[in-house]
Structures are given as structure tokens and as C-alpha cells.
Structure 1
Amino acid sequence: MSLDDLNADVKAAYSDLGDEVRVDLDRETRNELAMLLAAFDGNREELVRRAIHALYRSTVDTGDLDFHLRQGYDVTYDEYLSGMTYDEMSGNSVSQFDQSDERRYQQ
């Protein structure tokens, strides 16, 4: 997979989402949401939006998003944001790198 594959998958997922997402809640999640609704303003939609933002920020900050993107697409979040791989940014081709260094983020 590549940066182009990631871009295509993000665009496809975005168009599939639409404006509304229906989610079935298990008992634990329902209890946690009820606690948050009671503690905060009671606006369910706003709490879900906040939760998605918090999870997204956390995965970016901890490097977890990079790990998963590297595993699935062989790119990082920074590469996705810039629209080009590190090799493309530096003008180097993959053949110029040692094979062990080329996949340093993959196991």
C-alpha cells in the first residue's frame, strides 16, 4: 500500500460516513456516556464529537497513528499531511537506502 492508497481510502471513508453515524453501544459504553452526559452539558452529539477529537489527538501524539499507517500503508501521518513520502521530500530513491533502514518502522 502507498500514500496514494491511503488518500483514496480516506476519501472513500469520508464519503461513506455522511453527516450522521449510528453506533450501537454496549453496556459499559452506555454507562460511561451517561456519566459524561450527567457531568457535562448533556449534549450527546457534542460529547461524541469531543471523544473522536480526543482519540484522534491521542493517537497522533503517542505515535500510534504513525504505527498503524506505517503497518498498513508504509507512510506516516506527516507524509500524509505533506502529500509526499520522506524519500520524495529528500529527493532520494528507495534504492539508495540500506534495506534494514528502509523498513525501520515495520517489524
Structure 2
Amino acid sequence: MALQRPNPLQWVRYTFGGRLDDRYRDWVLHDTTTRTWLWRFVLRVVVEALPWLIVAFLVLTLFTPLPLGLVLGALGVALVTSLYFTVTSADELTEARLVKHGFRAGTGKELRKRR
């Protein structure tokens, strides 16, 4: 049986912390325990950061005399810092996502360890 995947709008909602319907439960388990789970996590963090980075870019380029290179550098540092702090907690944040979708705590860590 193939996993039922959320559509792009549902995926964005899921990325920002929303809960998917129960029919996507198996996909959530796959998403958080597959071999590429950490890369998927990083992609979600980048997608979450994008609106903030775009707003910051617009504010800094439209309302300050800062050179474009400096603005892009600052936003790059902000993204890398955000990734650092979230990736170091990826295991716990992923477990919270699984618990939100009805799995018992520790399910993700256990399955990732087995794989």
C-alpha cells in the first residue's frame, strides 16, 4: 500500500506546526523516520524561515542604506544560526511532531535507531 501524501498546502501547514488528518499518520511516521529524515527537517526549517527572511530583506533594502552584500550576508548568518539551533534539537522536535500525530513518545528515536 502506498503512503498517502499531503498536498502542497497541507504540507506547508504541517511544516508550520499544523496537525495533519489521521489518514496521513503513516506518512508523518515515514517523514520523521526515513533515512533522509534530517534533510526533510532542515527543509522544513528553511521553509519556515523564508517569510521572515523575505520581510527582513525588504525592510533592510528599502529602509536602510546598507549595501546588498551586507544585507544578504546578515540574512545568511541568521539562517545558519536558526538551522544550528533547530538541528541540534531535531530529535526532540521531531518526537513532538510524532506525539502530536498520535504516536507514543520515543517512537521516532526507536525506529531511526533500528534503521
TM bucket normalised to smaller: 0.3 to 0.5
TM-score normalised according to structure 2 size: 0.35
Higher-Rg structure is 1
Higher relative contact order (CA 8 A, sep 6+): 1
Which has a greater percent of helix? Answer: 2
TM-score normalised according to structure 1 size: 0.37
